[in-house]
Structure 1
Amino acid sequence: MIRPRSVEEPRLNRLFKIAFYYSLQLVCRLACVSLFHLRCLGREHTRVAGPALILSTHQSHLDPILVGVAFNERVNSVARQSLFPIPVLGTVIRWLDAIALDRTRGGLGGLKETMRRLRAGRKVLLFPEGTRTPTGRMLPLKPGFLVLARKCSVPLIPMAIVGAYDALPRGTWVLRPVPIRVVIGPAIEPDELKGLDDAAALELVTNRLAACRQRGQRR
């Protein structure tokens, strides 16, 4: 397990970001419950002490909001570098302490910053499928997150989002008021990955995500 280290930041900036995050979280939580009758199953599994990687299925642009609503504590998301220059959106992303990922450079900067956040004791959200699903079905996982999991030796929290694809499918910005469920599974501890090659580790995580997804589809 990595030992938390402080992330240097002016105190006023840090306090502002915390206040902004929890204010926006409250607004989003109320909106999601009203619009989508949001239900979060397995929230007891969010209570993991210290740093962790949150691994979620990726259905729509709503997903980072839904994950943020499901967790009581702050969650750092990874966002494309191209989103940061966009007026208003870029400002909000910065205030939420998102991690910039520059895919044109292989994402190395985002990888280093994610490791820095984990060493500071943060929880970081990743979408291991790498992109939003075009069909609503789970995509094969990309192995990049395993580098972080093994390097930082942190728990992996699997979760699935069911219904977000129908609420805001890829290629549209028109919201549909359909039910959404977020399902969080038991954390995968670092010891569970020891001795597994990438293929076996990916299978383990895929099965945990699929189990969360199946639970969400049953209710």
Structure 2
Amino acid sequence: MEKTWVFVLSRWFALTIFKLYFRIEFEGAQHVPLNGRVILAPNHVSFLDPIWVSTPIKRPLRYMTWDKMTRLPLLGALMKAYGAFPVNLEKSDRQALKFSLTHLRNDGGLVIFPEGGRTRTGETLPFKAGVIKLALDTQSPVVPVTIIGGYQAYSPHHYFPRPYKLKIIYHEPLHLAAPQDAMQLKAFMQSEADRLQKIVDGALPKRALAC
């Protein structure tokens, strides 16, 4: 995905709206490299998460999204402009996985939600090891990302976003190396997923639930 005028314009539009409506703040965006393969791994609280996370990054990022979301009139169009590609959540989607591998190996940037779905309570769901496997398979650094205020602004229980203040924190990237003993790989990947979650959760307020 190249940096087209559509990307630049949609990014400027989203940034303007988000600053006015959500008073959004970004911290640590410099930790995302401007080129080369990279995975961004945020907590998942809203359909708008990928757009919030992508807005300050001066390079195109791709991310998986529910295939039904890409068919929505306005939000679907904005998601596509921001690099969304559809994934079928009702069954294993090998095509989406293949696309992710190819995109990273071509030095692309990818947003992946390690929880595998949005939280419905405001508390982070357990991180799955899939993001770690993808990072190891493609030798991609992983940038942990914490979304603060997203659940209060636009949780699965809200039909329309609320003007709640947002803060997005980009942590220092993790550079992973698989253990030499293949028998330890599964445990290693889950251990690294747990470490990733501790970094993301560590920046959340003590009480991040909706009122």
Whichever residue aligns with residue 146 of structure 2, its letter is A
Distance 1:121 1:169, change over 3 A: same
Q: Which residue of 2 aligns with 1:27?
A: 13
1:188 is displaced (CA, Å) by: 0.3
Structure 1 portions without partners, runs of 5+: 1-6, 8-13
More off after superposition, 129-138 vs 179-188: 129-138
Partners of 2:167 and 2:179 in 1: CA distance: 32
1:109 is displaced (CA, Å) by: 1.1
Tell me if 1:132 matches 2:118. yes
Point out the structure with the larger helix share: 1
Tell me if 1:204 matches 2:195. yes
1:40-87 CA-partner distances (Å, limit 9, x unpaired) = 011221236411111001111221111111312111111122334444
More off after superposition, 86-95 vs 103-112: 86-95
Distance 1:107 1:45, change over 3 A: same
Partners of 1:40 and 1:165 in 2: CA distance: 17
User: 5 Å matches for 1:1-219?
Assistant: 18-47=4-33, 49-87=35-73, 89-191=75-177, 194=179, 197-213=188-204
Distance 1:94 1:180, change over 3 A: closer
Distance 1:49 1:92, change over 3 A: closer
More off after superposition, 40-49 vs 87-96: 87-96
The TM-score normalised by the length of structure 2 is 0.85
Structure 2 portions without partners, runs of 5+: none
> In structure 2, the residue corresponding to 1:104 is in which secondary structure?
coil
Q: What do you get for the CA RMSD once the two structures are aligned?
A: 2.3
Q: Percent identity?
A: 21
1:209 is displaced (CA, Å) by: 1.2
Q: Is the 8 A contact 1:185 1:212 kept in 2?
A: no
1:138-195 CA-partner distances (Å, limit 9, x unpaired) = 110122222211111100010010001111111222221111000110000123x546
> In structure 2, the residue corresponding to 1:183 is in which secondary structure?
strand
Q: Which residue of 2 aligns with 1:4?
A: none
1:14-65 CA-partner distances (Å, limit 9, x unpaired) = 67xx211111110110111111111101122123641111100111122111
Partners of 1:158 and 1:81 in 2: CA distance: 25
Across the two proteins, how many residue pairs are aligned to each other? 201
> In structure 1, the residue corresponding to 2:116 is in which secondary structure?
coil
